[in-house]
Amino acid sequence: MESQVGRKPNSMIMSERKPKNIFNQGAIPATFIAESIQKHSTQTAIGGHSIFLGQIRADETENGKVRAIDFTAYEDMAIEKMHVIREDIFAKYPLTCMHVHHSLGEIAAGEICLFVFTSSAHRKAAIDACNEIVERLKAELPIWGREIMSDDSHQWKVNK
């Protein structure tokens, strides 16, 4: 799993920001989320964090009940596109930091598959940026979810 240290002072200049891998094989553990929060305690300019967690829902569909979603992605394109979104968001909102993690592979109902974490001096930037990242990520990143039903049949997830 990618180490999530807050951005170091020498990487604060925008042009130096490099594309980050957002993918994580398997579900995102609650302990990883807790540790990510803890790591920001040294950044005392932060006054608010906003977190979005995507959880696999056991949808009842006409084809049965979803027991897991198997995520695949065009990883190179998704990482490049996420870098563009990251730059746009940093240009638009006064954020201190931003972290995005998306699962790949089979994630069971009830597990976390998406973790978006923004921090800023005041709450509004963190909250608005977090929402915008989630909306753009769902619409723009080449990621696909294959919903696996309780009888092991499957259907392709459709984002609403």
Partner 1 sequence: MQVHLTLFGQLAEITGRKEMILQDIPDSETLIKTLNDMYPLLANTKYAIALNKKVIHENTILSGDNNIALLPPFSGG
Rounded Cα–Cα distance for residues 11 and 15 (Å): 9
Q: Which is nearer to partner 1, 74 or 88 (CB)?
A: 74
Per CB under 8 A, the list member of 1, 92, 142, 153 interacting with partner 1 is 142
Q: Which is nearer to partner 1, 46 or 137 (CB)?
A: 137
Q: What is the pairing mode between strands 154-156 and 64-73?
A: unpaired
Q: Rg (Cα) of the chain, in Å, rounded?
A: 16
Rounded Cα–Cα distance for residues 39 and 103 (Å): 21
**From the CB of 43, what's the least distance to partner 1, in Å?**
27
Rounded Cα–Cα distance for residues 97 and 17 (Å): 12
In sign, the C-alpha dihedral spanning 120, 122, 127, 128 is negative
φ and ψ at residue 115, rounded to 5 degrees: -135, 110
Per CB under 8 A, the list member of 28, 73, 126, 130 interacting with partner 1 is 73
Q: Which is nearer to partner 1, 14 or 156 (CB)?
A: 156
Stretch that binds partner 1, among 5-13, 59-67, 121-129, 134-142 (CB under 8 A): 134-142
φ and ψ at residue 103, rounded to 5 degrees: -80, 150
Contact (CB, 8 A) for 68 and 56: yes
Q: Which is nearer to partner 1, 78 or 129 (CB)?
A: 78
Per CB under 8 A, does 156 bind partner 1? yes
Per CB under 8 A, the list member of 102, 111, 119, 125 interacting with partner 1 is 102
Q: Which is nearer to partner 1, 13 or 158 (CB)?
A: 158
Q: Write out the residues near partner 1 by the rule CB under 8 A.
A: 54, 71-74, 76-78, 80-81, 102, 113-114, 134, 137-146, 156-159
